[in-house]
Amino acid sequence: MESAELIAILREVRERVRARNPETSAGTDIALPDLLPLVHARDAALGKVAAIGTVNPRSGGLMNAVVQTWKRFVARVLDWHVREQVEFNRKIVACADAATEAHREANRAIAELVSRLAEQQRVSEELKDIRDHWAGWRPEWEHKLAENEVQFLRSVADLQGGFQHRVTLMEASHRDLMRTHNVDFHAALERHAFDIQKRLWADLEKMHTEIERIIHSELRLVRQRAQIAATVAPATESAPLPAAAPPLVFDYSRFAERFRGSEDYVKAGQQFYLPYFEGCRNVLDIGCGRGEFLKMMQDAGVPARGVELSAESVAVCRAQGLDAEIADVYPYLAGLPEGALDGVFCSQVVEHLPPDRLPELIRLCASRLAPGGVIAIETPNPECLAIFATHFYLDPTHTRPVPHPLLIFYLEESGVGDIEVRRLSPARESMPALNSLPEDFREAFFGALDYAVIGRKL
């Protein structure tokens, strides 16, 4: 049997099964049209068509063989006569097959439609269930939605209020901070401006004071010279002055102002003598100069007078209301009674005297002191080598330095005891380079520029 015929037979069997079980083919419980009778009718028609031109079988034998041969011959002869009928029958059968196939496709389409309708029904049931639940859920959902919306709006309002509050606080804080910074800046600016102005005024005041001091110093020297010229000439005509040193070829007052220091500087350096002379009733300043010591005694209420060879210096002292006179110290002391003085001050004088007359001066001072009277002698310190490099030989009227052991010896020989030595004006203050030396060496050879010997009459 050919494969095509076999495939045709299998297709026919499948179609018969589909025709017999249309509900199984559709996959649903809806009854579809039964096509099996149509199939039977088609099969019967096909049998009849197949029987055309065939010979009925008979029992075997010679007669039968002749008869059958005759029938086949007649069938062949009549084939042209029944050919159209056979074709017609076949077309009818083909039409039946086409109708059957169309019904089968209709069944399949109906089954597909039924399946889809079932799916749509299932979806409809689900949608109905959703709709029923939605009808029940919708009011609650709308209520919750309204509550959530109200709560959301309240939250937004709270957040907006909080944000606005924070913005207000930040803005206020920023304004306060900027105001504080502005106030601090203006205060600092005013403070610095005031400091600058104060320093400027201080500098201007200092310059003004310095200019006034220079002017006052120059005017004072001019007035002193004028006063001296007015007072010295009549005194010279009326009474001769004591013997004095040869006149200098330069202005010694200006020399002292420049190299010894200003009056304020000298007066500040003599303040430590004040406790020794407090309570005295008659103090003599030998070589009073411009009167710094006399002025200090006057301010302290201690009676004091001075003697000086320089008429110009005496005029300066008298111009300040101080008690000073032109006199040679040796005859002046010799003319005083013994014990007439309770204080003797002699600063920067003994280095000007000839060495052989120094013991006489100390003897006269000690003899005119009352018991317990104080004597103070200040002079450059020869133990300090720096004094020879700076101050001592700068003054042309200096003769020779006086070591303090020699001065102490003269005082002791004259009846002065309780002697102490005070070293003044450390050299390293005016010469910072001395700080690089070892301390013991510096103290031994570069100690104080001046010294003072202070004692009391026994």
Q: Predicted confidence band at 100 (pLDDT cuts at 50, 70, 90)?
A: confident
Task: Give residue 233's identity as a one-letter amino acid code.
Answer: A
CA distance 96 to 38: 8
Answer yes or no: are the C-beta atoms of 369 and 454 closer than 8 Å.
no
Question: Average pLDDT in the 157-173 region?
Answer: 90
How do residues 211-220 score in pLDDT, each as one tens digit? Answer: 866 776 676 6
CA distance 323 to 326: 11
pLDDT averaged over every residue in the chain: 80
For the chain, give every residue range classified as CATH 3.40.50.150. 251-457
- Count of alpha carbons within 13 angstroms of residue 254, beta-carbon side: 12
CA distance 88 to 48: 12
Q: Predicted confidence band at 231 (pLDDT cuts at 50, 70, 90)?
A: low
CA distance 252 to 310: 9
The size of the chain, in residues, is 458
- pLDDT value at position 138? 80
251-457 carries CATH number 3.40.605.10:
no
